[in-house]
Each structure stands twice: as C-alpha cells, then as structure tokens.
C-alpha cells in the first residue's frame, strides 16, 4: 500500500482463539452491531484514526484463520502486511510459543524489510489463568526486536492504544527514510 497516503495494511496473526477477531471488531467499532459482521463478511475492515494529530487509515485484516479460500492463505498474509500484530493469549503458553514461530516465519518471508510488529499479549483480564508473565512477553519482544503490549479485548483495555501504537511504528520507519 502507498504509505504516502497514510494508508496502512495491518494484519493480525496468531493462534486461533487468542482474540484476534475480538480485538479487530472493537477497533472497527463492530461491537454490538452484529449486522455489520454479516455485511463485511470478508474479515477486512477499514477505519481512519488520528494519531499525534495526523490521520491514518488502517486496513485491518483478520484473515489469518480463514480456511479454504486459496487466495487468502497464510503465506499470502505474510506478504501483504505493512505492519503486523502477532497475538497470543496470556492464558495459553502454546499460543505464546506459536508467536515466536510466526515471528521467525515473518522474518524469513520479508527478509530485507524492517516491518513494524507489535507482540500482543491479549486476555490480560484473566489474571487468575495467566500462564505467560508480563516480563516474559516483554523480553520476548526484545528478542523479536518489536514492541510489546498487553491488551484485553473483553474489557477493552489498551485496544485503541494498540492500533495507535502500530501507526506510530509505521511512521517511525517512514520518517527515518
């Protein structure tokens, strides 16, 4: 996509069940509006937000778990994003380990590029079921060379901040060119 137009394609990746669709729906403003879900059946949403006084249009793609549609394979998802949210659930260590695999896969697929990534520990409302500590998430992000945030789609904690954060990451790279 043309970053000169402040149009950014943001792709959510991560194990099924970690909350990608719920995070996306909150950002897209689809909560409590089930009709829109049906109309926009493609799992791709567009919204313009203002971050630090500058507009940005995000095309948010929640297509990772789509099965059976050949043109939306996971390989394709790895290629088309301007930025990525690698999501795991803090209540599911396997999803955290999967996040590492995805980071490696993304690095391999987009070798020459410095792609903005945020590692997202979702479901942080479920404190009593926590399997991955904040410190582990943070140090994993250091190894990944990316940003880190914990969110809760359920109580809408840090969701707006997450999407603003990815815009800032894209801009940092744009402005340093």
Site residues (vs Mg ion, CB under 5 A): 20-21, 65
CB of 12 to ligand GDP, least distance (A): 8
Binding mask 78-117 for ligand GDP (x = CB under 6 A): ----------------------------------------
Exposure string of 69-100, with b = 16+ CB inside 10 Å and e = fewer, is: eeebeeeebbeebbbbbbbbbbbbeebbebbe
Give the count of residues interacting with ligand GDP (CB under 6 A): 15
Q: Is 20 in the site for ligand GDP (CB under 6 A)?
A: yes
Which of the listed partners (ligand GDP, Mg ion, none) does 17 bind, with a CB threshold of 5 to 8 Å by partner kind?
A: ligand GDP
CB of 128 to ligand GDP, least distance (A): 11
The CA-based diameter of the chain, rounded to the nearest angstrom, is 45
Cα–Cα dist 139/148, whole Å: 9
Alpha-carbon distances, residue 66 vs 42, 72, 73, 119 (angstroms):
9, 7, 8, 21
Give me the sign of the Cα torsion angle 117, 104, 137, 114: negative
Binding mask 118-137 for ligand GDP (x = CB under 6 A): ----xx-xx-----------
CB of 164 to Mg ion, least distance (A): 22
Angle between helices 93-109 and 134-144 (to 10 degrees): 10
Q: Is 154 in the site for ligand GDP (CB under 6 A)?
A: yes
- Binding residues (CB under 6 A) for ligand GDP: these are 16-22, 65, 122-123, 125-126, 152-154
């Amino acid at each position: 996509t043309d970053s000169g137009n402040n149009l950014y394609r943001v792709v959510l990746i991560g194990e099924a069940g970690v909350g990608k669709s719920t995070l996306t729906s909150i950002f897209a403003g689809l909560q409590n509006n089930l009709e829109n879900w049906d109309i926009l059946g493609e799992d791709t949403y567009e919204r313009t937000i203002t971050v630090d006084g500058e507009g940005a249009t995000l095309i948010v793609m929640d297509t990772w778990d789509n099965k059976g549609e050949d043109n939306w394979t996971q390989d394709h998802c790895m290629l088309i994003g301007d930025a990525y949210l690698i999501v795991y659930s803090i209540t599911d260590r396997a999803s955290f380990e999967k996040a590492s695999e995805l980071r490696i896969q993304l690095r391999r697929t987009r070798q020459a590029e410095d792609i903005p990534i945020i590692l997202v520990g979702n479901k942080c409302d479920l404190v009593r079921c926590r399997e991955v500590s904040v410190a582990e998430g943070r140090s994993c992000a250091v190894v990944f060379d990316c940003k880190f945030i914990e969110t809760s789609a359920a109580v809408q904690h840090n969701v707006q901040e997450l999407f603003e954060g990815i815009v800032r990451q894209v801009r940092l790279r744009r402005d340093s060119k």
